[in-house]
Structure 1
Amino acid sequence: MKYYFPVPTTFILAAILFLCSCKGERKLPIYGLRDTKTVKNSDGTTSVDTVYQTIPAFKLLNQDSTYITNDNFKGKVYIADFFFTSCTSICPIMHRNMKKIFEDFKDNPDLMFLSHTIDFKYDTPAVLKKYAQKLGVDGPKWQFAYGAKDTVYTLATKSYLVSVEQDNNDKQGYVHQGYLVLIDKHKRIRGAYDGTNPEQVAQLEKDIPVLLAEEKN
């Protein structure tokens, strides 16, 4: 299987802005596209607000053949990734590292996990169920999601900013990036970490408490 890990330009620009403006208590940057809107204040004046890219509404089947939506993650910080169960290259490493994070935060009700399969042909909910059981994380805290190709691939590339594609020239049929994407309670991207890189996974473990603390304020 081929894979690659180019850092999205959006992430780099947001990180630069964050480093330039960071003062006092550490907060994670907000990644993705952004826009501005003019709002009218209660005193009649106007001000300009920044509107950040967010994860749109979705409806996918989980490993229990039950539909899950944004509402399942309402008020939660969560880590999202894209994989397929028959992957023998980066996916086992990604989920081994993600499992460690899961174990470290399993008692924290404010953190969840969401893994989307990109194998729309084979990875049915029943297959995802067996995979979750084998991984030892079959429960509501870690959801495994199945959906139509267009739905999942659009979510990956347009919303989570993770490259995924079907590749008939690849022996396993798919090419994807191994990012673990950190999402806040407002559905905004707050970090993207190479799930196969121990240093980046360790940084994710450090950033999770920072985001959880920020969300409590």
Structure 2
Amino acid sequence: MPTGANNKKKYTYVWVSLIILVFGIIFIPKIVNRLKSDSVVQKDRMSVRSLQKGVGFIINNGQKRKVPAFSFLNQDSLLISDKDYLGKVYVVEFFFTTCPTICPIMTKNLVELQDTFKEYEDFGVASFTINPRYDTPTVLKKYSERYGITDADWHLMTGDRDEIYQLAQEGFYIVANEVEDAPGGFEHSGMFALVDKQGYIRSRDDEHGNPLIYYRGTITEKQSVNKEGEPQQITMLKEDIKKLLLEE
């Protein structure tokens, strides 16, 4: 074959190689990203999202914070303990039935969660009264009927006042006090705690990368903010409950 023909063929191979190289550099990463956003690799996509918006643990002194042991009577006069919630994702609140301010909003938000996850047998709620002298099982039963509490794993619990306050203040670091000048005679937090199936308190991070720790329960999902400008967090709580329910 003539030398000129060989050189021409050689140049053709070089140009083809360059075109393939450029194509690979420009388009292959885009194709990979496109595939990862498609349902063909749904599992991979979900794992990436979980890393980006995970529901982390609350760490104290190098240890994951866990719900301490408790045992109280519920609205059906049954003894309920922390062991009854193992294997379930649940939300914790401290309230009282005669609360004239935030408790009705909190209860309605919890009913919303109850209805959202009614198909999940491993979802529950733990409500602890901070006024056990008045909130007997009978009173709690009437309260549950008034608000449409139907989930068999939603226990409204009462018992020894000091044990409940210790659980709130030392177990969850949630405010719970009898204060004469406070509305209804009690001061308490309007926050919800989220607990996983192993009994660990869980939370997503806020916009600064710090654990949110608790979810605001005093603003309905229909509101974007309250009069103090605080944002509602029920939507986030729903998202994080769903993530924990799907965890192995």
Say if 2:235 is the partner of 1:202: yes
Structure 1 position 138, deviation (Å):
4.0
Question: 2:168·2:175 contact (CA, 8 Å) conserved in 1?
Answer: yes
TM-score normalised per structure 1: 0.77
User: Could you say if the C-alpha distance between residues 171 and 200 of structure 1 is closer, same or farther in structure 2, counting changes exceeding 3 Å?
Assistant: closer
Q: RMSD of the alignment, in Å?
A: 1.7
2:160 paired residue among 119, 128, 148: 148
**CA deviation string 1:46-100 (max 9, x = no partner):** xxxxx31211111100001111011211111110100000011000011111111
Task: Give the distance between the partners of 2:81 and 2:183, measured in 1 at CA.
Answer: 33
Match of 1:172, SS state, is helix
Question: 1:34·1:53 contact (CA, 8 Å) conserved in 2?
Answer: no
Structure 1 position 196, deviation (Å):
1.2
Structure 1 position 140, deviation (Å):
1.9
**CA deviation string 1:118-144 (max 9, x = no partner):** 002200111001101111114522110
Question: 1:52·1:188 contact (CA, 8 Å) conserved in 2?
Answer: yes
Task: Give the distance between the partners of 2:108 and 2:173, measured in 1 at CA.
Answer: 22
Task: Give the distance between the partners of 2:155 and 2:130, measured in 1 at CA.
Answer: 14
Task: Give the distance between the partners of 2:67 and 2:94, measured in 1 at CA.
Answer: 15
Question: 2:67·2:172 contact (CA, 8 Å) conserved in 1?
Answer: yes
Structure 1 residue ranges, 4+ long, deviating more than 3 angstroms after superposition:
22-26
Question: 1:193·1:204 contact (CA, 8 Å) conserved in 2?
Answer: yes
Task: Give the distance between the partners of 1:200 and 1:188, measured in 2 at CA.
Answer: 20
Task: Give the distance between the partners of 1:73 and 1:65, measured in 2 at CA.
Answer: 17
Question: 2:128·2:157 contact (CA, 8 Å) conserved in 1?
Answer: yes
Partner of 1:212 in structure 2? 245
Q: Which runs of 5+ in 1 are unaligned?
A: 1-21, 36-50
Partner of 1:193 in structure 2? 215
- Structure 2 letter corresponding to 1:92: P
Partner of 1:134 in structure 2? 146
From the two aligned structures, give the one with the greater strand fraction: 1
Question: 1:65·1:125 contact (CA, 8 Å) conserved in 2?
Answer: yes
- Structure 2 letter corresponding to 1:193: Y
Task: Give the distance between the partners of 1:138 and 1:77, measured in 2 at CA.
Answer: 17
Task: Give the distance between the partners of 2:51 and 2:216, measured in 1 at CA.
Answer: 27
Say if 2:98 is the partner of 1:86: yes
Partner of 1:69 in structure 2? 81
TM-score normalised per structure 2: 0.68
User: What is the aligned length?
Assistant: 179
User: Could you say if the C-alpha distance between residues 168 and 72 of structure 1 is closer, same or farther in structure 2, counting changes exceeding 3 Å?
Assistant: same
Say if 2:129 is the partner of 1:107: no
Task: Give the distance between the partners of 1:134 and 1:140, measured in 2 at CA.
Answer: 16
Task: Give the distance between the partners of 2:68 and 2:131, measured in 1 at CA.
Answer: 21
Q: Which runs of 5+ in 2 are unaligned?
A: 1-48, 204-213, 222-231
Question: 1:32·1:189 contact (CA, 8 Å) conserved in 2?
Answer: no
Partner of 2:54 in structure 1? 27
Structure 1 position 202, deviation (Å):
1.1
Partner of 1:182 in structure 2? 194
From the two aligned structures, give the one with the greater helix fraction: 2
Structure 1 position 169, deviation (Å):
2.3
Higher RCO structure (Cα 8 Å, ≥6 apart): 1
